[in-house]
With several copies, the nearest count.
Chain A
Amino acid sequence: MDWTWFHRFGSPPHLYGLAGRLVPWFAWPAALAIAAGLYGGLVLAPPDYQQGDGFRIIYVHAPSAWLSLMAYTWMAVAAAIGLVWRMKVAHAMAASCAPIGAWFTVAALCTGMLWGKPMWGTYWVWDPRLTAELVLLFLYLGYLGLRSAIEDPQRADRASAVLAVVGVVNVPIVRYSVEWWNSIHQAPSVMKFGKPTISWPMLTPLLIMFVGFTLLFLALVLVRVRGEILRRERQARWVSEVIAA
């Protein structure tokens, strides 16, 4: 197998330039998809037969929740690569994922809570999925806290990478243990979460939203990763050339 692409990708100046060129290719389609998905979801899709128009929160809630999990996975994979190959670029990638993931975890939690109020009559119940998402937020905060507590960027990268890898093992474990826990204690009857029967006119905007959020995530990561690369490479010659230009 030819590994040159891997090394090329791992070279900071290369990724710095590539990321800069790619950003618009993700950002504009993301804007388009999100606008279309929102229009489809809020205007075109028919109301749900049970929840009426309340179900439309799904078009912001589900993509946010999806993004929060995807960002964590990316972060852990990047962190593992950084640890194993001592690759600065991978650490820069992991560091870029964390704040985005944390913010969208907050978004998923808040929109979920706003949805919960009309559906369950309260903003919060200890449902397994909710609880797991809350624990995910704590994991993100721990990661960010550890990173900010360590002065030296190299050390911060490597220490937080260990945490990200340990944490990713934990996410599914938490998810299933929480499920098990709640199925044994009888669950409050208000919240039968089950999948709403969803029809194509409802599903299509949602799928477009998923695509839009994914593209948005990639665009955000690419913008951030350039800054992170600069922070890690400040003594390299290519930086002065790029900055002077």
Chain B
Amino acid sequence: MSGTWQAARLVVERDLRLAFRNRGQLLHPLLFFAIVATLFPLALSPEPSRLRDVAPGVLWIGALLASLLAVEFLYREDAQDGTLEQFALSGRSLTWLLFAKTATHWLLSGLPLALMSPIAAYALAVPPAALPGIVAAVSIGTIALSLLGAVSAALTIGIRRGGALLSLLTLPLAVPLLIFGAQATARAIEGSDMAAPLYFLAAFAVLGVTLAPLAAAAAVRISLE
């Protein structure tokens, strides 16, 4: 067990180091999110009242797409250069190794997205009082999204145009997250109680933490065959 723990720690360290060696790339999901949040007012209307109405939808769809974009790279390089094969043949629990990878991934993509969401929300004319609630909702939501994405990304390893298939697999599964997330955000904007939708989001995250790494490990093994 201590060996597994040590191995997982090394995986985290390695992924962090790789990320910081390409520091610029950490910004991409953030920028994507920012750009999508900019495009909406351009495509809809610059009026604050109308923007405020669509803000929950825009924020969650932006977060969903940005996190999808990011998760596409979760395994790609490891699969291409044979690292994933080595993980599977390392004699360690693949589930744990992948859990470590997914956790690092959320740290590097989901968390920054959550920290960025108040800025985007403000640009969509959301009142400042609603911002803390929005950060909470997006944080929990992205945990669930990362875990969900980890499974679909594992299923699409080695498929040539995996990215498109990945969206297709993930988006329908992400619908409940989107609904509760948008609901939580809408309530935050109205100033009403957001406990119920947050509770659902948290439930999905917990479910994800327990099941997703197992499913991802199984999917990776299948993909390598």
Interface residues, chain A, CB within 8 Å of chain B?
A: 83, 122-127, 131, 134-135, 138-139, 141-142, 144-146, 148-150, 152, 154-155, 158-159, 162-163, 165-167, 170, 173-174, 177-178, 180-182, 184-188
Contacts and interface: CB of A to CB of B under 8 A. Distances in A.
A61 B189 CA distance: 32
Interface in B189-208: 200
A125 B46 contact: yes
B122 interface: yes
Interface in B151-206: 151-152, 155-156, 159-161, 165, 168-169, 171-173, 175-176, 179-180, 183, 200
A159 B176 contact: no
SS class, residues of chain B in contact with chain A: helix
Contacts of A126: 41-42, 46, 51
Contact of B175 (A83, A125, A174, A185): A174
A162 B219 contact: yes
Given A166-B173, A184-B183, A138 B35 contact: yes
A186 B225 CA distance: 50
Contacts of B17: none
A98 to B, nearest CB: 13
16 contacts: A125-B46, A126-B46, A131-B41, A142-B169, A144-B24, A146-B159, A148-B23, A148-B24, A149-B159, A155-B222, A155-B225, A159-B219, A177-B175, A181-B179, A184-B183, A188-B47
A139 B183 contact: no
B25 A149 contact: yes
Contacts of A122: 48, 125
A182 B218 CA distance: 36
A105 B22 CA distance: 24
- Tier of interface size on chain B: 35 or more
B14 interface: no
A185 B168 contact: no
B95 to A, nearest CB: 14
Given A166-B151, A181-B42, A188 B48 contact: yes
Nearest to B119: A124
Contacts of B123: 124
A182 to B, nearest CB: 6
B80 interface: no
B180 to A, nearest CB: 7
A142 B225 contact: no
Given A135-B38, A177-B200, 20 more contacts: A124-B123, A135-B172, A138-B38, A139-B173, A145-B24, A145-B28, A145-B168, A149-B22, A155-B223, A158-B222, A162-B222, A163-B152, A165-B215, A170-B175, A177-B175, A177-B180, A178-B42, A178-B175, A184-B183, A188-B46
B2 interface: no
